[in-house]
Structure 1
Amino acid sequence: MVGTGGPVPTFSPWDYVVFAGIIVVSAGIGLFQSFRGRKEASSAEFLLGGRQMTAVPVAMSLTASFMSGISVIGTPAEAYRFGTAFWLFGFSYFIMSAITAEIFVPLFYRLAITSAYEYLELRFNRLIRVIGTSMYIVQTGLYTGLVIYAPALALNQITGLNLWGVLVATGVVCIIYCTLGGLKAVIWTDVLQMVIMLTGFVAVIARGSVLQGGITKIFEDADQGGRLHTFDFDPDPLKRHTFWTIVVGGSIMWLSIYSINQSQVQRYISCKTLGHAKMALYVNMVGLWLTVSLAMLSGLAMYSIYKNCDPFSNGDVGTYDQLLPYMVMDILAVYPGIPGLFVAAAYSGTLSTVSSSINALVAVTVEDFINPVCKNLTAKQVNWMNMGLSVFFGALCIGMAGVASAMGSVLQAALSIFGMISGPLLGLYTLGILFRTSNSTGALTGLITGLVLTLWVGIGNQLYPPTADKTLPLPLTTVGCNNTMGQSSTTATPWTSPVTLTPEPE
């Protein structure tokens, strides 16, 4: 019986067919773009799509790049445990979009640069450019490892497929179409993958509404469970999510992602005009609103279904980040193919973000490290170098997934990485843009000081997690469970070596 705990079904043959079909189509779009653009093979075509992209596909790619498998897995679990405070990020998206579109995009677009870090050398010096690029590579490697790990965990949870087999397969698929198709292949596959992600959320919400007697009943249950207390104006900066920490802190975090992150900047400057680039930001804002709203509604539906039997407390899952995959099999297994669609949604988000990261890493490596040293390379040599670097960074991202497996909650870990590294970089760019008298000595001093402080806070948070009186998890119960399993396996036929998001220490 749905919502009462115990084993749930595994993947049906139709689920595998749907999942495999969607992944093949995603890869096929990327390969099509690669063959289509072969006659125009050049570094600008590979890294910037020939600077001929339009606003809507770029906007969908912007949204898909960072509202990825992390969002599919982590955001509904956030609503289930902590309520709807996360919805306040909608304000952050508006503030970020306006500042980025009106200040940062015109700067990068008019400079006609390929790497966002070229600006740092133009404004300060070569050393600061190299440091900024190096920080970006470290940040992106860690974040992409998380993005690969989250949906691989979902596949393992639902189907019993080998976790590391899925991780490697993810990297291989991305490497293939990134290597052959470049940025244009990445953007057009992002468009399909964004549609699939949204469809997966809609399927979960629709089925949950039918089971619970309508969307109104879901909101009633959420209200009774304290999940609709969205606005908390407590000024305490140590509390996990308040209006101030999300709107102020969230705006700065998302600004650091969208205004200076190479993955995003590369998309702006791939647009055919500045107007298209700015419009892409505003259309992306609507996409972010839609995605976070559907993710939060999925979490509220999950609470409504499991309000009397928390699967984590009942031992049905090993971590809260496994809740949504568990619910999908619990409520959607009666419709063969739909669970496959959900897993494809999580997986599509991964493909989108990983492919974007690989392409961006190739761009900064070529522009910031190789071109300044090797100035006499032929176009053919540069193309081979681009493809070789795509393979290298794809393999590196797979390796970083192993680091991600030890970082706890995927959503919180992802946000922490961006806060620690992107924050000081954003401060550096802001200093250069807004203050004419700033020089390279002051910029380097501020960057190092900011990085030390953010690493101190971020690493300290991992080593000494905040207590419940600061994180404020909402109450859950198992009074309605009809079966206590006492193990983390959730399938009718458990696989040999179940893997949870946070492995037990050896």
Structure 2
Amino acid sequence: MGAQRDIGTFVVWDYVVFAGMLLISAAIGIYYAFAGGGQQTSKDFLMGGRRMTAVPVALSLSASFMSAVTVLGTPAEIYRFGIMYGIFGITYFFVVVISAEVFLPVFYKLGITSTYEYLELRFNRCVRLCGTVLFIVQTILYTGIVIYAPALALNQVTGFDLWGAVVATGVVCTFYCTLGGLKAVIWTDVFQVGIMIAGFASVIIQSAVIQGGINGILSDAYNGGRLNFWNFNPNPLQRHTFWTIIIGGTFTWTSIYGTNQSQVQRYISCKSRFQAKLSLYINLVGLWIILVCSVFCGLALYSRYHDCDPWTAKKVSAADQLMPYLVLDILQDYPGVPGLFVACAYSGTLSTVSSSINALAAVTVEDLIKPRFRSLSERSLSWISQGMSVLYGALCIGMAALASLMGTLLQAALSIFGMVGGPLLGLFSLGILVPFANSIGALLGLLAGFAISLWVGIGAQLYPPLPERTLPLPLETYGCNSTYNRTDLMTATAMPFSTSAFQVHNIERTPLMDNWYSLSYLYFSTLGTLITIIVGMLISLSTGGRKQNLDPRFLLTKQDFLSNFDIFKKKQHDISYKSHPVEDLGTDNPAFNHIELNFTDQRGKVNGTRL
């Protein structure tokens, strides 16, 4: 059966569909470079002039971190470990509520461009610079994985040129980010979400047709033990359980949605606070739709290969290649549709990379350039922002070369966010939720959290957890009708989850490796956040944190929650949120020299002052 099953190859129409997706993305960048007078100021370039509305921002938020990691990694995850990953649907709900009700109100009322400006306002310049540097390192590392991993998987299955794809992706992203700024990033994301859903839909529909309908797919999944939804084992060393996904996943994703510049920059570009919150809640529906699609693709993948695993049978060399293999297998009779799926994977890549490049440019201009060179005009800052986009685009392409050493796609990506995002989430939580936290506590807390996260994260890359911690489900080859026998099957089933190139082999396992380094990768973020908060609170209390005089705008207050109901009152009640007003915020801080366009007459005053 399996031995005779030949997969298709890429034909001209597939390349046409893929090239069309790249061209439309580039065209959107060109349009926004000139529409409405182009990118006159750095605020136009980095924040879309703060005139965005909820729906495009929501779709953009969904696209940005639902990257090729999701398109290729999640179905492979379901195929190997079962449907438990679907519990992330509950996690996303908690993440969106925390981001919208805790972090968004504070960032929005301050009218900041870089989230790290908040750290200087609340603590001091040194804390801000630490946050900025950590973000830049994390984002470049992550973006390298996002560019390289799908290119490798698609190259090995479809013959799609590896470095041609890497460079094309990086160049197109850099092109439309540099020309069109945040508006181009958001509207290309909207287009790319459509492509991602279309790619998923084509696979799901054709799989259902071939495998005897949805019931046939679910029946195969049930018989193969893939519908293992509930595992309430509280052991933190177990890779995925209900608790690691709900608790660890909430910390990991809140560090992305609540405090990561790439996401925050989008929702604070909305024209009112109501629109900003609405964008997050609409985005939740987008996250659920994409999760359901990717989980179902994983079940379809298992149904198709339940008796002849292409990985064990050496048809593919990594789990991340299973999805492209399935596409060329079931859609070979439909020229252009495999190209649509490849465009779907690359749309995920483009949306993530473009948001990263735009966020990196924003952070560099706001945190590193503006405070040093206060005399620069808005036009100069706009040019510098565009130059930064080009520089970071090139850096991310370079980083893709290093990403070839990082190992399995989904886990490597989330591990990086956990190791760096956790301590940063702890730092922002200290500022917003702990009135007595001071700059000494914040800095030492951040360093402690980062050191511990890095220790466990790097340890887990060097000494991957044993299969009894990761619980891969059996993969069968009895239907392959080929020369592979049952002994091959057993070795395949026991493959360690991490294929990290840094892995240390043939070493005696110690309790440290089997316990500490086997901690679920989803808890890296939880650990970093909690250590940062606890150390920060203890040191703040012992260094006079209670004596400081704090502006209540830097904290989450009861008023922030009550203002949710302003929408039901007369419109003028919400005016203080609509225009980030200069009068309320004071004009003595350079962090506020990007205030709404209708306050340009006061901008001279702002730029002229010093901290």
TM-score by length of 2: 0.78
Q: Which residue of 2 aligns with 1:203?
A: 202
Matches within 5 A, 1:105-184: 105-184=104-183
Question: Match for residue 190 of structure 1?
Answer: 189
Report the residue type matching 2:391 in the other structure.
F
**2:56 corresponding residue in structure 1:** 57
The percent of aligned pairs where both chains have the same amino acid is 61
CA distance in 1, matches of 2:435, 2:457: 31
Deviation at 1:154, TM superposition (A): 3.5
How far is 1:312 from its partner?
Answer: 0.5
User: Aligned to 2:185, what secondary structure does the other structure show?
Assistant: helix
Instruction: State which drifts further: 470-479 or 396-405.
Output: 396-405
- Aligned-pair distance for 1:454? 0.6
Residue matched to 1:103: 102
- 3-state DSSP of counterpart to 2:219: helix
1:137 Cα offset (Å): 0.4
CA distance in 2, matches of 1:5, 1:112: 62
Q: Please report how far the alpha carbon of residue 379 of structure 1 lies from its aligned counterpart in structure 2 after TM superposition.
A: 2.4
Range that drifts further, 359-368 or 426-435:
426-435
Aligned to 1:258: 257
Q: Distance in 2 between the 1:411 and 1:470 partners?
A: 17
Aligned to 1:43: 42
The code of the aligned residue for 2:221 comes to A
Query: 1:279-318 residue pairs with structure 2 within 5 A?
Result: 279-318=278-317
Amino acid at match of 2:44: E
**2: CA distance between counterparts of 1:82 and 1:158?**
22
Look up the equivalent residue of 1:34 and give its one-letter code: A
Shift of 1:483: 4.2
Q: Which region of structure 1 is more displaced relative to structure 2, 301-310 or 474-483? A: 474-483
Asked if 1:435 is matched to 2:434, the reply is yes
Tell me: CA distance 1:156–1:504, structure 2 relative to 1, closer, same or farther (3 Å).
Answer: farther
Q: Report the Cα offset of residue 331 of structure 1.
A: 0.6
SS at match of 2:313: coil
Partner residue in 2 for 1:444: 443
Higher relative contact order (CA 8 A, sep 6+): 1
Q: Distance in 2 between matches of 1:171 and 1:265?
A: 23
Distance 1:159 1:265 in 2: 36
CA apart distance, 1:38: 3.4
Structure 2 counterpart of 1:400, one-letter code: M
Q: Which residue of 2 aligns with 1:377?
A: 376
TM-aligned CA distance change 1:40 to 1:361, over 3 Å? closer
**Separation in 2, partners of 1:114, 1:386:** 13
Letter in 2 for 1:68: S
How many Å separate the matches in 2 of 1:39 and 1:99?
35
Return the letter of the residue paired with 1:413: A
Q: C-alpha deviations, 1:12-62, integer Å up to 9, x for none?
A: 111111111122112212221222143451111000000000000000000
* Alignment partners' CA distance in 1, 2:500 and 2:93: 34
Aligned 1:352-363 pairs, distance under 5 A: 352-363=351-362
In 2, Cα distance between the equivalents of 1:87 and 1:50? Answer: 37
- TM-superposition CA deviations, 1:256-277 (whole Å, max 9, x none): 0000000111011110000000
Larger Rg: 2
**Does the Cα contact within 8 Å between 2:32 and 2:38 map onto a contact in 1?**
no
Residues 380, 144 of structure 1: CA spacing in aligned structure 2 closer, same or farther, 3 A cutoff? same
Query: What is the aligned partner in structure 2 of residue 333 from structure 1?
Result: 332
* 1:142-184 deviations in Å (ceiling 9; x for gaps): 1101110122124313432331121111110011110010000
**Distance in 2 between residues matched to 1:227 and 1:315, nearest whole Å:** 22
RMSD of Structure 2 on Structure 1 (CA): 1.6
Maintained 8 Å contact 2:157/2:321: no
Query: Contact between 1:319 and 1:502, CA under 8 Å: does it hold in 2?
Result: no
Alpha-carbon distance in structure 1 between the residues aligned to 2:484 and 2:45: 52
Deviation sequence 1:382-441 (CA, Å, 0-9, x none): 122111111100011111112211111110000100000000110111111111111111
Whether 2:412 is the aligned partner of 1:403: answer no
| Separation (CA, whole Å) in 2 of partners of 1:480 and 1:457 | 41
User: Counterpart of 2:467?
Assistant: 468
> More displaced, 381-390 or 257-266?
381-390
Is residue 124–residue 439 contact of structure 2 (8 Å, CA) maintained in 1?
Answer: yes
Q: How far apart in 1 are the matches of 2:502 and 2:484? A: 18
Q: Report the Cα distance in structure 2 between the residues aligned to 1:451 and 1:308, rounded to whole angstroms.
A: 45
**Retained in 1: the 8 A contact 2:158–2:324?**
no
**Aligned residue in 2 for 1:492:** none
Cα displacement string for residues 358-398 of structure 1 (whole angstroms, at most 9, x for unaligned residues) = 00000000000000000111223212211111110001111
Change (3 A) 1:5 1:292: farther
Residues 59 and 4 of structure 1: CA distance in aligned 2, closer, same or farther (over 3 Å): farther
SS of structure 2 residue aligned to 1:260: coil
- Matched to 2:301, the amino acid is M
Q: Which runs of 5+ in 1 are unaligned?
A: 487-500
- 1:424/1:450 contact within 8 Å kept: yes
Inter-CA distance 270–484: structure 2 relative to 1 (3 Å threshold) = farther
| Residue aligning to 1:25 | 24
Q: Does 1:322 align with 2:318?
A: no
Deviation string, structure 1 residues 204-232 (Cα, Å, up to 9, x no partner): 11111111100011011101111001110
Task: Show the counterpart of 1:491.
Answer: none
Q: Secondary structure of the equivalent of 2:183?
A: helix
TM-score relative to the length of structure 1: 0.94
Residues 191 and 164 (structure 1 numbering): CA distance in 2 closer, same or farther, change over 3 Å?
A: same
Report the counterpart of residue 419 of structure 1 in structure 2.
Answer: 418
Question: Is the contact between residue 360 and residue 392 of structure 2 (CA under 8 Å) also seen in structure 1?
Answer: yes
The amino acid that maps onto 1:326 is Y
The one-letter amino acid paired with 1:86 is: Y
User: 1:212 maps to what in 2?
Assistant: 211
Partner in structure 2 of residue 498 of structure 1 = none
Residue by residue over 1:115-143, the C-alpha shift from the partner in whole angstroms, topping out at 9 and shown as x without a partner, is 00001011111000000000000100011
Partner of 1:216: helix, strand, or coil?
helix
Output the CA distance in 2 between the equivalents of 1:381 and 1:34. Answer: 16
Cα shift at 1:484: 5.5
